[in-house]
Structure 1
Amino acid sequence: MFLGPRQMATVAERAVGSIIGAAVADAAAQPMHWIYNPDRLKEVLSDLEPSPEFRPESANPFYKRSTGEQTCYGDQAYVLLESLSRCGDVDVADLTKRYYEFFGPGTVYDLPLNDPYRQKGGPKAILPINGPWRNGSLKAFMRNVDAGKEETGSETDCQMDGVTKLAPLVAMFAGRPEMLHKVEAAVRVTQNNDTCVAVTLAAARILEHFIMNGPDPNVLDVVVDQLKDPKRQNPQDLENAVIAQLRQVKDSLSKTSQELIPAVYTNT
């Protein structure tokens, strides 16, 4: 449903919109995913501006999927959405099973370069591969499941998987006191890393605020105040570091991506 500028979406509409928006955004960006060279990215974008989304042909230097398909991050969100839909709650056993079945042996992700047991120092990879990319957290997750470990998430991976797949979780639990606990439980299935969890929970607070209240240019200040509240839900030891990161983001809002990458945000 299209909402005009004078109309206001309901909480339910914003919740559904967050799931759809995240899925569309992931598919729209997938053909240009993981282009780390700024000059190459500028070249790729040169004939697409001002509408770079859904590039007809992949320019991804690591893997190739058809335009419209998801990255491994979007696919994780889909599996999470399916589990929540079927179980009505965060069911760690069900989610673990679904992740393994979706990304594991015999799937489109089961390619030689994606082998979770591939040894370093072997033959040099020929990139991009023809198919999706199984990233580090998923490989560690698979090894942990194969080893029969109770805690299946990677203890070292703190990439953006948690943030990019949280929309279904926040959409289901927004406004409920257990929301952050549910997000943490789901994230630790594949990323049992405290830094990853702390950052993902901050992102969950931001999305929850938008779902419950609609657009708000002061959302970063709101979330910083929440993180400083001694009575906050699900406190984390690393939240002071997250507050510093959010303040850095706020200070950077007036700058262009060219000014910020890679000078400020170096690992992007």
Structure 2
Amino acid sequence: MASSAADRAIGAIIGAAVADAAAQPMHWIYSPDRLKEVLSDLEPCPEFRPQSANPFYRRTTGEQTCYGDQAYVLLESLSQCGDVDVDDLTKRIYKFFGPGTVYDLPLNDPYRKKGGPKAVLPIDGPWRNGSLKAFFRNVDAGKEETGCDVDCQMDGVTKLAPVVAMFAGRPEMLEKVEKALRVTQNNDMCVAMTLAAARFLEHFILNGPDPNALNAVLAQLNDSKRQNPQELDRAVIAHIHQVKDNLAKASQQLIPAVFTNT
């Protein structure tokens, strides 16, 4: 039986959560040689590695990364408010990742000074990443714009599923994604890349499997009348073309020769 758009929307949320948990034990392994070593005894099923090989933090297999936890908080806020409510989302993020939580560890302190004793890694517990630390400092300072203005990591892409699932097919979808994202990442490049990812996910939710998805999203981004245009859309288009041109190559050929491994 063919799936409906509603089925695919739910699948996007569940799939993102499962994928995050499945990859968590091997999160942030930047060395290709080390990653190859870790994967050698797991292929062809590397997901849910029983023992964490994460060089920065250790969580029980099945638990989320800080990205997956952000997606959960966003989903919870959407389900309670029925919309992207910045005030509610801000409060929920602060409560979930803040003082007295499993994230409240010495190395995760947003006010930890640089140049102190060298950290002993991996830490026993989850990692509060750079954008979250900046978020806490901005909220504590009473700033209206709480998002980090320099962070351009993958948080936005990894947590967008609940927003896209709720607003797929509606003209305000991209606006809602941007609104939610800027709560923690107020960076234009991060926003442009996340909105492109949202276009891809929306396309699959509305249409199902489609080998022409790359071209469909490129057509959207090239449309002068597109929804929520960004100044950096041209750069995003160029990057998507670069990905498209290298689809036939293995990851070992591309990282870090073509795409930086950071």
TM-score, normalised on structure 1? 0.97
Q: Which residue does the alignment assign to 1:164?
A: 158
Equivalences for residues 176-215 of structure 1 within 5 A? 176-215=170-209
* 1:242 correspondence with 2:236: yes
Q: 1:120 aligns with which of 98, 110, 114?
A: 114
Which of 27, 41, 54 pairs up with 2:35?
A: 41
Match of 1:146 in 2: 140
Counterpart residue type for residue 83 of structure 2: D
Find the partner of 2:8 among 8, 14, 25.
Answer: 14
Q: Distance in 2 between matches of 1:9 and 1:253?
A: 27
SS at match of 1:118: coil
CA distance in 1, matches of 2:103, 2:247: 37
Q: Secondary structure at the match of 1:139?
A: helix
Distance in 2 (CA, whole Å) between partners of 1:123 and 1:101 is 28
Q: CA RMSD in A?
A: 0.6
1:106 aligns with 2:100: yes
Q: Distance in 1 between matches of 2:240 and 2:55?
A: 30
Could you list the runs of 5+ residues in structure 2 that have no partner in the other structure?
A: none
Structure 2 CA distance, aligned partners of 1:92 and 1:201?
A: 18
| Shift in Å, 1:220 | 1.1
Deviations 1:66-101 (A, max 9, x none): 000000000000000000000000000000000000
- Structure 1: segments with no counterpart, 5+ residues: 1-6
Over residues 12-60 of structure 1, what are the superposed CA-to-partner deviations in whole Å (9 max), with x where a residue is unaligned? 0000000000000000000000001111111111110000000000000
What SS does the corresponding residue of 1:206 show, helix, strand or coil?
helix
CA distance in 1, matches of 2:116, 2:45: 40
- Which structure 2 residues correspond to residues 48-63 of structure 1 after superposition, within 5 A? 48-63=42-57
What residue identity is the alignment partner of 2:99? P
Distance 1:146 1:220 in 2: 41
Q: Which amino acid aligns with 2:241?
A: R
Deviation per CA, 1:129-163: give whole Å up to 9, x if none.
00000000000000000000000000100111000
What SS does the aligned partner of 1:137 have?
Answer: helix
Cα offset for 1:109? 0.4
1:267 CA displacement: 2.8
Distance across 1 between alignment mates of 2:215 and 2:118: 47
**Separation in 2, partners of 1:252, 1:119:** 41
User: In the aligned structure 1, how far is the partner of 2:119 from the partner of 2:139?
Assistant: 26
1:257 alignment partner, one of 234, 238, 251: 251
Q: Paired residues, what number?
A: 262
Letter in 2 for 1:11: A
| TM-score normalised per structure 2 | 0.99
The structure 2 residue matched to 1:84, chosen from 58, 78, 84, is: 78
Shift >2 Å, 4+ stretches: none
Percent identity over paired residues: 81
3-state SS, counterpart of residue 220 of structure 2: helix
Structure 1 CA distance, aligned partners of 2:52 and 2:222? 43
- Select which of 226, 234, 237 maps to 1:232: 226
User: Which residue type is aligned with residue 232 of structure 1?
Assistant: R
Give 1:238 deviation, angstroms.
0.3
3-state secondary structure, aligned to 2:211: coil
2: distance between equivalents of 1:50 and 1:36?
20
Q: Output the CA distance in 1 between the equivalents of 2:61 and 2:247.
A: 30
CA distance in structure 1 between the aligned counterparts of 2:8 and 2:115, rounded to whole angstroms: 48
Task: Give the 5 Å matches for 1:19-30.
Answer: 19-30=13-24
Supply the AA of the counterpart residue of 2:133. Answer: K
Distance 2:188 2:106 in 1: 30
